[in-house]
Amino acid sequence: MNGAAEIFVHFARARWFRTFRDRAALERRQERGMKRFRRELLSRLPLYRDLAQLPLGAFPIADKEFVRERFAGLNVLGLSYDEARGLAERGEERSGISIGMSSGTSGNRALFLVDAHERRTWAGVMLALALPPGGLLRRHRAAVLLASNSRLYLTTRDSGRLTFRFFNLRSGLDAHVRELEAFDPTVLIAPAHVLGLLARRQSAGALRLRPERAFSAAEVLDPAEAAAITQAWPGPAHQIYQCTEGFLGITCRLGTMHLNEDYVLFEKDWVDQGRRAFNPVITDFSRRTQAMVRYRMNDILIAADRPCRCGSPLQAIERIEGRRDDLLVFAGPAGRRVILFPDDVRATVLDAAPAAGDFGLVQATPDRLELALAGSVPPEQHAAARDALAAAVTRLGGSVPAIASVEYQPPLDHAAKLRRVRRTFPWPEEH
């Protein structure tokens, strides 16, 4: 089967056969997928060979460190982390497998192996889920704006009814605006804050784009950005939940995020069950070249409290709250910790300081917060925002930190991920 035909098969499967009657039908698909995954990948890997036929609970929980240290035991080529990184940096393939690298700035970049089959599967599935009604019956132009130094992204790819163009935010946003308008995308995919910026320019008449669907990817979609997007273009603000670890979720036609449970098993590691907040622990059984088994993500997801009206049995997510590093943690009663979620921080700050155009909050130590408000905010609103934050911590039973007002630094670099709320010390384990 040639590349385009294979993409189409996966497109068709995802678009027309993804509809599971109920949860039981979905679970049968997961069982079949896991069986093949155990046979075709896990039983070949030194690290998992002996576990391959055991229940999932017998596998160790993995994280970034685990993957880096045991990299050679996790991929079919037996490449060590350093070998794989060398290949990724030189853009070289090995046995038809290419190696991608996350775009982070830290020394510990995530690496991922992908073969042509995996790439085409994901392309087909993502297209199927992202394209507006009518799909490939009409011509579509998909523009993807992301910061990447990976050669896995081609600049332009034309496959008949679909033209795909990648705009690299590493060279800034303004460098691309005119070309983006000329391309006239029907599907637009960009990080949330870039999409919000484009939407505001559109509403102000300074930009002319008319995507039928606009997706935010790669960072948390803030309500203010979602509002700007829905004001600029028709339909709900869509989201793609994709990261180095895989393609994990996408919004349905109603705008509800659903997890891609037909390709990935999600275990819930609860952070706060009352709030339905969890870290997903993922097992991607669509992988063929590198195992991703019981990998604990840093992301915090909030599970929806009821099924989506679209009828899909795939787990509905109320929202992606951020990363674990975005949760503020305070000392609570009896040696416990209390958690302030970024969503609460945002509501608290912006309610108390309505003049603030934007804000940033950093928790550098358990007992110190630094709050920055954007725009000309009167001093009494700065004070009100600090008081409101202190009150929010008190309500949780936490010990109130010192809260300082600092100068707001606007994000200059569109290649960087925008994180308004950040904790810069490690997550405290409970005793």
Q: Which residues bind Zn ion (CB under 5 A)?
A: 252, 256, 308, 310, 312
How near is the Cβ of 135 to Zn ion at its closest, in Å? 18
Beta strands in 148-291 (DSSP E): 156-159, 162-168, 187-191, 213-217, 238-243, 246-251, 257-259, 264-272, 277-284
**44 close to 53: Cβ distance less than 8 angstroms:** no
**Residues of 319-343 as b/e, b for ≥16 C-beta within 10 angstroms?**
bbbbbbbbbbbbbbeeeebbbbbbb
Q: What is the DSSP string of 339-405?
A: EE-HHHHHHHHHHH-TT-S-EEEEEEETTEEEEEE-S---HHHHHHHHHHHHHHHHHTTPPPPEEEE
Identify the residue whose tokens are 């939407």: 199
Amino acid at the residue 281? V
How near is the Cβ of 235 to Zn ion at its closest, in Å? 14
How near is the Cβ of 302 to Zn ion at its closest, in Å? 15
Question: What is the radius of gyration, based on Cα positions, of the chain?
Answer: 22
Other beta carbons within 10 angstroms of residue 195's beta carbon come to: 29
Nearer to Zn ion, 48 or 241 (CB): 241
Nearer to Zn ion, 308 or 392 (CB): 308
Nearer to Zn ion, 20 or 295 (CB): 20
Specify the 3-state DSSP secondary structure of 97. Answer: strand
How near is the Cβ of 200 to Zn ion at its closest, in Å? 27
Nearer to Zn ion, 90 or 253 (CB): 253
Nearer to Zn ion, 252 or 329 (CB): 252
Tokens standing for 390? 């202190």
How near is the Cβ of 314 to Zn ion at its closest, in Å? 8
d(CA 370, CA 407): 9
Nearer to Zn ion, 252 or 421 (CB): 252
How near is the Cβ of 258 to Zn ion at its closest, in Å? 6
Sign of torsion over alpha carbons 262, 62, 245, 428 = positive
Nearer to Zn ion, 308 or 373 (CB): 308
Nearer to Zn ion, 77 or 310 (CB): 310
How near is the Cβ of 328 to Zn ion at its closest, in Å? 31
Query: Of the candidates 126, 86, 110, 408, which has an alpha carbon nearest to the alpha carbon of residue 251?
Result: 126
How near is the Cβ of 310 to Zn ion at its closest, in Å? 3
How near is the Cβ of 316 to Zn ion at its closest, in Å? 6
Nearer to Zn ion, 73 or 135 (CB): 135
Tokens standing for 392? 């929010």
Amino acid at the residue 316? A
Specify the 3-state DSSP secondary structure of 367. Answer: coil
